[in-house]
Amino acid sequence: MTATKDAFFNPSKMTPQQKSVVTDDAAKKIIAAEAIARGKKTEKLKQLRLQQAALATPDIVPEPKKKKAKRSI
């Protein structure tokens, strides 16, 4: 393949509207990809939290000691 000017540069200029459409599409793709990754991570962490809760033994809370009544003189 021969390196030519047309292979590297766009021969026509883009209008501001075309530039904004390209930028908007790129931003929407990035945001969608981040949302999918965040959803996967959230689901993974939820599963790990549920698994950890199932394996944990319930803490036994000791009954509070009863206070002795004070004697009045």
Interacting residues of 1 by C-beta distance below 8 A, sequence separation 6+: 7
22 vs 10: CA distance, rounded Å: 14
Distance CA 65, CA 62 (A): 9
Question: pLDDT digits over 47-65, tens only?
Answer: 999 999 888 866 677 777 8
| Tokens at 55, concatenated | 């394996």
The whole-model pTM stands at: 0.55
8-61 pLDDT tens trace: 776 678 899 999 999 999 999 999 999 999 999 999 999 999 999 888 866 677
